[in-house]
């Protein structure tokens, strides 16, 4: 005999002890699209504010010599975490982007921070 999920052996229902508290609730998911830069300020717990990106077309790219340069993002080439994100040109950590200088890898989380940081990849 197959037992129903969410039921006791006797057939009674399991009931939650309580519902989720406000601090246990997940935040709204943000997907940073490739496009003209748009930022938003979000109030955090404790009254602090966090600047998050909604869309961006510039990245701070670290060169092999250690210097940084602000360059335009042309395209999202691949995203190892989810290939569908690259098709939609969504900027996430670990994504390989095409810039004016060449290929670069995003090293920060743009949806949590107000900028895109990347490191230049060596040319093959």
Tens-binned pLDDT, residue by residue, of the chain (124 aa): 566 788 888 889 988 899 999 889 988 888 999 999 999 999 988 999 999 999 999 999 999 999 999 999 999 999 999 989 999 999 999 999 999 999 999 999 999 999 999 999 998 6
Q: What is the pLDDT of residue 119?
A: 97
**Residue 108 in contact with residue 52, Cβ under 8 Å?**
no
Q: What is the pLDDT of residue 1?
A: 54
List the domain boundaries for the chain.
32-120
DSSP output for 33-89 = EESS-EEEEEE-TTS-EEEEEEEE-EEEEEPTTS-EEEEEEEEEEE-TT-HHHHHTT
Q: Which CATH class is domain 32-120?
A: alpha beta
Provide the token pair at 67. Answer: 């210097």
Provide the token pair at 28. Answer: 């709204």
Residue the block writes with tokens 């519902």 = 19
């Amino acid at each position: 005999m197959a037992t129903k999920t969410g039921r006791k052996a006797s057939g009674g229902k399991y009931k939650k002890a309580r519902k989720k508290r406000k601090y246990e609730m997940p935040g709204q998911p943000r997907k940073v699209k490739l496009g003209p830069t748009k930022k938003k300020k979000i109030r955090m717990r404790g009254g602090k504010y966090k600047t998050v990106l909604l869309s961006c077309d510039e990245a701070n790219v670290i060169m092999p010599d250690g210097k940084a340069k602000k360059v335009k993002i042309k395209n999202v080439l691949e995203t190892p975490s989810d290939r569908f994100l690259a098709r939609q040109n969504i900027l996430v950590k670990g994504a390989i982007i095409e810039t004016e200088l060449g290929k670069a890898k995003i090293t920060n989380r743009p949806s949590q921070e107000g900028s895109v940081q990347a490191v230049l990849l060596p040319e093959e």
